[in-house]
Structure 1
Amino acid sequence: MQSNEHSNIGLLKEIAELLNEETEMITMLQGALRKFLAGTQFETGWIFFIDTKGKHQLLAHENLPDALEYGSCRHLEKGGCWCVSKYRNGELKKATNMIECQRIENAIDAKVGDHAGITHHATVPLQSGQEKFGLLNVASPNTVAFTDHELALLESVAFQLGSAIKRIMLTKQEQEMALVQERNRLARDLHDSVNQLLFSVTLTARGGSEMAEQPEVKETFREIQHLTQEALTEMRALIWQLRPKGLETGLIEGIKGYSEMLGLTIKVKVSGVINLPSRTEETLFRIAQEGLNNVRKHAGVQEAELFITVTLTDVLLVLKDEGCGFQMDSNVQIPSIGLQSMRDRAKAAGGTADWVSHIEKGTELLIRLPH
């Protein structure tokens, strides 16, 4: 018994060192799970993160049997189970033996691979203080229940993981706050310096045009005024992108304000209630900005339509114009007019970005994001 205690202390120390070194969430979870399984009698494990709506996401797994790993862990990703249900209901307080697991049972019944004797698992909530993040599940072949000693060790590791998860989340929040502050600083600098200089050049060019007597000189000043005005509009758009002031009054008002700043008229239709996470709202706002920029620069029209549909699981944004459109060859890369940027933003948020465009028939942008 004393030997086991020394062994467990050594294992917890190794895991603590790993958790202190890691700064990326997935890498940290995967590494800690791998080290825990290597130092115990547990042979397989997986980690769910569960959001405030009760939706779970498989973030890490190690040494899964074929039946559970089949189809990109289909039976772990989909469906319900007792451990997640107990977690949602607040009934799961400590490491617990699960009497049955619907996910494992479904994987075995589907006969999609060897389940390697995995029929039951133990589960423990991952939390820091009163803040909960998800579940750590572990299992061993031909084991229905684990001992109190094994469950106590599982709780100790879950406590370490919960603290590390909270640390990484706080660090990420600090980084995001620092980024926002830097964006605001840059936006202020651009507004106070470059923006004012361009405005001064516009006024100077207009004055030169009014005073010039020779037609060629007058036309040159007018051209300078026109180009400077274009640059001023671009600068204001850039400042908006750095500091989306419109989001303070909501997503729709933010998009309308940006459209007005670009000189566009936009018709908006909303289905469902817009009550989205701030990160989802900002992603939609950034994508809509890029889409509206494309309308102004490339469509050759001054009007667009925006449709937003919100369901229980995702939000669909459609931006449509009746401009000149474009023809895209599937054999070449995406045109460099912001389309790739929109696709990258949507993908980073777990969503998709697609578009349909035809020459002289306009363009339709379709964005779908989970929330």
Structure 2
Amino acid sequence: MNHISHIQELTTLKTIAETLNQSNCMSVMLDAVLEKLLDVTGLHFGWIFLMDDNNEYKLEADRNLPPALLQNDKALAKCGSCWCVDKYFENRLTDAVNIMSCRRLSTAKAGGHGDTCGFTHHATVPLRIGERKFGLLNVGSAGKDHFEAEELALLQAVALQIGVAVERMRLHQAEQRRAEQFARLGVFSRELHQSVSAGIAQVQLAEIAIELLAKHFDWPAAALLERTGGRYQVQAMHAGRAMIRDYMKLPKNAEYSLDRLRKTSRSFELSAQDMAGLTGQWSWLSASALAAPIQAMSGSTDRVLLIERSQPSFLTRVESEVLEAVTDHIASAMEHARLEENRRELVRIEERNRLARDLHDSVSQMLFSMTMTAKGAEAFLRGQDWEAASEALQDITGLSKDALKEMRALIAQLRPANLDGGIADALRDYGKRLGINVVLKVNGCIRQLPPPIEETLWRIGQETVNNVAKHAAAEQVEIAFYVQENELIYVAKDDGAGADLEAVSSAGGSLGLSIMRERVESVGGRLKLTSAPGEGMLIEAVLPLALRKEEEA
């Protein structure tokens, strides 16, 4: 390569251009073009670094490295700093230059890592297009310690070709990544809103959202944080292929960067300083993460979604777009859940209003009549009209019996007459009336349950037996409930016809199952249904017993 004719220069550029168009794989393309460059120029060795915006680099291709640089999986070539890398990150390397002495080769020789094959110097050429930089091209030969200006000019032209190819390939990868991520977003959004429609409580939505993110996206870790009382607290977190139950508050020194999100609706990449406060809390979090605010319909930005990136920095823009879209869908789902809770509360209010109307139209009217009749009887007694007083008292007796009958009828709608004898007995009796054998297993004390929990337990048990009688085509159901720490666990299993729960949900859902879920969630509980055609149905409910402690206090 001591003297380059114009024909040789054109031939070299033509050969490189043809090689660059032979592959759509970055590493394969760079490896092939490096091999071809050494072949047509007569140089002996070379390597290519690709750089990112975080001052990190990767050895993407190499050819004919000496044994000294091949030791320990090319550790000396892959790690550490050197003159060309330092100048690149300092923005002081703009053109092809001669390296007086390669630090990597000198270190390898001084450390006795093996034969350097006489390689001591190389030319360094930045890969760039205008202001956009991509990496470095290093080439050299044994015994060659200087490159002429025309040689450097040719290498500069080759580097420009490589830069254009890298830019083209990165744009292609970005568009491919964008398409893949938005396809995942569609599935994520659909399942998230299905969970809300199925009756998931708003307080459980953060955990569901993070579980679905882990299921559909390839981000190594994700966390949803909420600002409460001036501090950020983790609501849900996933890392290492598992949910992490660590609902801690972040230290104040780790919150300053997240506070910036309250002033913007855009995502941003956390800097090394930002990450310092977080990586001390979460060992799973690397030095590369994105954060985006979850903007509620009210305009508040008290929630933040944080993800760990696994993709190269040139895909940050794509990941940011997807992350912002994810937060929009989470915000929409949270609003959907809030409206669903309001709807269920309206249903409960309507039920109470109906009961109030029934009481007013029946029992209250009778009690009013009894009051007026009692006043009349009092007047008759003062006037010693014994016959009229006796008739008034008889009327009061009749009204009281009617009122008692009406009251019992209303109570029966809310609570079975024999519930005081125990929920277990009540469910057995209820099953007998429907022709269902209820096999019960009870562990722990359930006779002093808080009234809301007791009523909920009765109602879901009642609905379980109803479903078996109406839909399961079974004659027996096994029900168990037991106390575990501060929770009451309810489990029911039948061996009936079962059901396709997804089909039931898409068809509008079973009213009975929806009411069961609403009752469980109204006391802060969780309900899980498992079924398939021909496999019966398994109902699992967890009801909190904190209410009992509050009432005892």
Contact 1:33–1:62 (CA under 8 A) maintained in structure 2: yes
- State the partner residue of 1:319: none
- Partners of 2:71 and 2:127 lie apart in 1 by 26
Q: How many angstroms apart in 2 are the aligned matches of 1:50 and 1:279? A: 17
Whether contact under 8 Å (1:309, 1:315) holds in the other structure is: no
Identify unmatched segments of 5+ residues in structure 1: 203-231, 245-249, 282-305, 317-344, 350-371
Please name the residue that 2:414 is paired with: none
User: What's the counterpart of residue 45 of structure 2?
Assistant: 44
Choose which of 285, 308, 320 in structure 1 pairs with 2:282.
308
How far 1:46 sits from its partner (Å)? 0.7
Equivalent residue number for residue 147 of structure 1: 148
| Cα offset, 1:101, TM superposition | 1.8
CA displacement 1:264-294 (0-9 Å, x = unmatched): 963236577587998999xxxxxxxxxxxxx
State the distance in 1 between where 2:209 and 2:107 align.
56
CA distance in 2, matches of 1:310, 1:195: 28
**Matched residues, percent identical?**
31
Tell me how far apart the structure 2 counterparts of residues 252 and 238 of structure 1 sit (CA, whole Å).
11
The one-letter code matched in structure 2 to 1:186 is V
* Structure 2 counterpart of 1:137: 138
**Conservation of the 8 A alpha-carbon contact between 1:122 and 1:138:** yes
One-letter code of the match for 2:62?
H
Matched position secondary structure for 1:268: coil
Q: 1:187 to 1:85 in 2, by over 3 A?
A: closer
CA displacement at 1:240 relative to structure 2: 4.4
Map 1:197-208 onto structure 2 (within 5 A): 198=198
| Aligned partner of residue 180 in structure 1, secondary structure | helix
**TM-score when scaled to structure 1?**
0.58
Farther off after superposition, 5-14 or 36-45:
5-14
C-alpha distance 235-50 of structure 1, shift in aligned 2 (>3 A):
closer
Equivalent residue, structure 2, for 1:180? 181
TM-superposition CA deviations, 1:57-84 (whole Å, max 9, x none):
2221101111222222222223321111
CA deviations 1:147-195 (Å, max 9, x no partner) are: 1121111111110111111111111111121122212222344456x55
Query: Is 1:268 aligned to 2:269, yes or no?
Result: no
Equivalent residue for 2:72?
A: 71
In structure 2, the CA distance between the partners of 1:270 and 1:117, relative to structure 1 (3 Å rule), is farther
Residue 6 (structure 1) aligns with:
7
Counterpart of 1:253 (choices 222, 225, 228) is: 225
Q: Per-residue deviation at 1:234? A: 11
State whether residues 234 and 249 of structure 2, in contact with CA within 8 Å, keep that contact through their aligned partners in structure 1.
Answer: no
Question: Shift of residue 100 of structure 1?
Answer: 1.9
In the alignment, the residues of structure 2 paired with residue 13 and residue 99 of structure 1 have an alpha-carbon distance, to the nearest angstrom, of 30
Corresponding residue number in structure 2 for 1:171: 172
Matches within 5 A, 1:234-253: 239-241=212-214, 251-253=223-225
Q: CA deviation at 1:112?
A: 2.2
Distance 2:58 2:190 in 1: 41
Give the SS at the match of 2:133.
strand
Give, as a single letter, the amino acid of the residue that structure 1 aligns with 2:125.
V
Contact kept in structure 2, 1:270 and 1:309, CA below 8 Å: no
* Counterpart code for 1:253: L
- Partner-residue secondary structure (3-state), 2:225: helix
Could you say what the CA RMSD is over the residues aligned between the two structures, in angstroms? Answer: 4.2
SS across alignment from 1:112: coil
8 Å contact kept, 2:43–2:139:
yes
Q: Secondary structure at the match of 1:185?
A: helix
Mark the CA change 1:265 to 1:154 in structure 2 (over 3 Å): closer, same or farther: closer
- Following the alignment from structure 1 to structure 2, what is the Cα–Cα distance between the partners of residues 115 and 259? 49
Q: Check 1:17–1:280 CA distance in 2 against 1; reply closer, same or farther (3 A cut).
A: farther
Partner residue of 1:117? Answer: 118
Distance 1:81 1:90 in 2: 14
> What amino acid does structure 1 have at the position aligned with 2:54?
K
The amino acid of 1:139's aligned partner reads G
Matched, 1:83 2:84: yes
Which portions of structure 1, spanning 4 or more consecutive aligned residues, are displaced by more than 3 angstroms? 1-4, 187-192, 194-199, 232-244, 254-260, 262-266, 269-281, 313-316, 345-349
- Counterpart contact for 1:270–1:308, Cα < 8 Å: no
TM-superposed CA distance for 1:43, in Å, is 0.9
Deviation for aligned residue 1:13: 1.8
Give the distance between the partners of 2:284 and 2:236, measured in 1 at CA: 21
Deviation at 1:26, TM superposition (A): 1.1
For residue 5 of structure 1, report the CA deviation from its aligned partner: 2.5
C-alpha distance in structure 1 between counterparts of 2:244 and 2:72, whole Å: 47
Residues 278-334 of structure 1 deviation map (CA, whole Å, 9 limit, x = unaligned): 8999xxxxxxxxxxxxxxxxxxxxxxxx941599x7489xxxxxxxxxxxxxxxxxx
Deviation at 1:109, TM superposition (A): 1.3
Q: Do the aligned residues in 2 keep the contact of 1:46 with 1:58 (CA within 8 Å)? A: yes
* Contact residue 207 and residue 237 of structure 2 kept, 8 A: no
Give the letter for the 2:153 counterpart. Answer: A
Say whether the 8 Å CA contact 1:183–1:242 is kept in structure 2. Answer: no
CA contact (8 A) 2:211 2:243 kept: no
Structure 2, unaligned stretches of length 5 or more?
Answer: 227-232, 259-266, 272-279, 290-307, 313-553
Aligned length: 258
TM-score between the two structures when normalised by the length of structure 2: 0.40
The change in CA–CA distance for 1:109 and 1:252 in structure 2 (over 3 A counts) is: same
